[in-house]
Amino acid sequence: MNVNISNQEGKTIVRLDGRLDTSNVEQFQQDIAPLMQGEKPNIEIDCTGMTYTSSQGLRMFLMMQKSVMSRGGKMVMIHMNPQVKEVFDITGFSNIIAIL
C-alpha cells in the first residue's frame, strides 16, 4: 500500500495505491498519522489505485472518520473500485463514511 498525502487549496488529498491488508496495516497507520491532527480537516481520499482492503483496513478508515468528525472536519472517499465498495457496503461503513 502506497500512501501519498498532498495539500491542494486547503484540501488534503490522500492517494492510495495497492492492497491494504494485515501485512501493511501498521505501516498504513503510521502513514496516515498526520491526518489525525489539526482543526477542521478537509480530507479527500482517492481510492483509484486501491485494489483490496481487509477488515483491519476498514478499521483504519473508521478511526479516520471518527477522528475527523470529532475535530469538526469532513472526509470523503472517491473513485472506489466496486470490489472495495462492496466491502464498505456489506459492513455498513458506506452509511457512515461519505463515498462519492
Partner 1 sequence: MSSKCLFNKCLNKRSFSKRLSISVIGIVTSIFIVTLFVVGITSARIIEDEATRSTQYMLHGTISDIERPLNELEVQTSTVAAHVGLQIKDINTLDIISQNTVKMSEIIDGLAIIIPGATPSDEYIVYNYRDSEGEIHTRRQKGVGMMQSEWLQAIAKGRKPLWTAPYYAEHRGGGQEIPRVTTYGFPVFDKDSNLLAIVTSDLTIKWIEEKMASIRPYENSLASISCSEDVVIGIDDSIQLAQIRKAFAESEELRELSDDMRKGKDSIRRRIGKGRDMFFVAYGPLHNGWMLSISCYYRDVLKSVSIMNRILLILGLLEILLVFFSCRRIISKMTRPITTLSDAALNMAKGNFNADIPEIRSQDEMKNLRDSFVYMQNSIVDYIEELKTTTRANERMESELNVARNIQMGMLRSDFSQRLHALLVPAKEVGGDIYDFVIKDNTLYFAIGDVSGKGVPASLMMAITRAALRFVVGLNLPMDQTLERINKGVTDSNSNEMFVTLFVGRIDMVTGHMEYCNAGHNPIIVIPPDGEPYFLKAKPNIAVGVFLDFHYQSETLDLRPGTRIIAYTDGVNEAERSDGSQYGNERLLEWATQPTNRSLATSDKEVVEKLYDSVKEFADGNPQNDDITIMSITI
* Residues 81-100 interacting with partner 1 (rule: CB under 8 A): 89-96
Residue 49 one-letter amino acid: G
Among 13, 15, 17, 21, contact with partner 1 (rule: CB under 8 A): 21
Residue closer to partner 1 by CB (options 5, 87) is 87
43 within 8 A of 35, measured Cβ to Cβ: yes
Residue closer to partner 1 by CB (options 2, 22) is 22
Q: For residue 77, what is the enclosing H or E element?
A: strand 74-78
- Is residue 64 helix, strand or coil? helix
The DSSP secondary-structure symbol of 39 reads S
Positions in the binding site for partner 1 (CB under 8 A): 21-22, 54-56, 58-59, 62-63, 66, 89-96
